Chains A and B, each alone.
Chain A
Amino acid sequence: GESVGLHLPTLSVQEGDNSIINCAYSNSASDYFIWYKQESGKGPQFIIDIRSNMDKRQGQRVTVLLNKTVKHLSLQIAATQPGDSAVYFCAENIRGADGLTFGKGTHLIIQP
């Protein structure tokens, strides 16, 4: 089965609020995690990544947190905008392996 999965299939937030999307993983050999955004009719788009030697990384309006103790990572989107509406996937790279394994997505819906 999949090592990487998400807690909720759908997340609805008010425009302007912060969004938090969660992801759990089970493979202790995973050492690199990536968040992707997929808009309807498009391929996934890279958002931000984090390696296992870090616990936090920030980008433009996004922050990824990694908790290796409980094998959990989250994506925080500040001041959510209509253009953030998409399916968000966490993905992992297992140490020594090529390619990424994607977890189940969370559909982020923005309420006006």
Chain B
Amino acid sequence: DTEVTQTPKHLVMGMTNKKSLKCEQHMGHRAMYWYKQKAKKPPELMFVYSYEKLSINESVPSRFSPECPNSSLLNLHLHALQPEDSALYLCASSRTVNTGELFFGEGSRLTVL
């Protein structure tokens, strides 16, 4: 199994809603990542987890809250988002943080109304 699975594929939420994005991998990878990608732009790193511990938080607003319940799962909790947060949210995993070979999911497309 070389897949990273993200759910939901599409999400529409209001600015007062609370929702979560989920990511799962069963490759035994110990590094997991959240990236944000706006249309026609490169992915931007948000969070890095290494061995279930948060190692990087790239100055992301607190309305985004990551969680790594175990080595296979990664969540991104969303609360009080703004319309400019609408984007494709990509989850990725890698064997460790020391490799550049990341395996990406297909992303969750978020629209904030």
Is the pairing of A and B real?
yes
Q: A: which residues have CB within 8 A of B? A: 2, 32-34, 41-46, 49, 89, 91, 93, 97-105
Asked if residues B107 and A43 are in contact (CB atoms below 8 Å), the reply is yes
| CB neighbours of B42 from chain A (8 A) | 2, 89, 102-105
Which residue in A2, A33, A43, A49 is a CB contact (below 8 Å) of B92? A43
Given A41-B106, A43-B105; A93-B48 close (CB under 8 Å): no
Binds A, one of B14-22, B61-69, B73-81, B94-102: B94-102
Q: How far is B40's CA from A103's CA once the two chains are assembled, in angstroms?
A: 12
Query: How far apart are B41's CB and chain A's nearest CB, in angstroms?
Result: 8
Report the interface size for chain B: residues with CB under 8 A from the other chain. Answer: 25
Which residue in B31, B50, B97, B100 is a CB contact (below 8 Å) of A49? B100
Residue of B whose beta carbon sits closest to that of A92? B100
Asked if residues B33 and A102 are in contact (CB atoms below 8 Å), the reply is no
Which residue in A32, A34, A89, A99 is a CB contact (below 8 Å) of B56? A99
Asked if residues A102 and B44 are in contact (CB atoms below 8 Å), the reply is yes
Query: How far apart are B18's CB and chain A's nearest CB, in angstroms?
Result: 25
Query: How far apart are B85's CB and chain A's nearest CB, in angstroms?
Result: 19
| CB neighbours of B100 from chain A (8 A) | 32-34, 46, 49, 91, 93, 100
Q: How far is B45's CA from A2's CA once the two chains are assembled, in angstroms?
A: 12
Query: How far apart are B102's CB and chain A's nearest CB, in angstroms?
Result: 6
**A–B Cβ pairs within 8 angstroms, 30 of them:** A34-B100, A34-B101, A42-B106, A43-B4, A43-B105, A43-B106, A44-B43, A44-B90, A44-B102, A45-B104, A46-B100, A46-B101, A49-B100, A49-B101, A89-B42, A98-B31, A98-B48, A98-B50, A98-B56, A99-B56, A99-B58, A100-B45, A100-B100, A100-B102, A101-B45, A102-B42, A102-B43, A102-B44, A103-B42, A104-B41
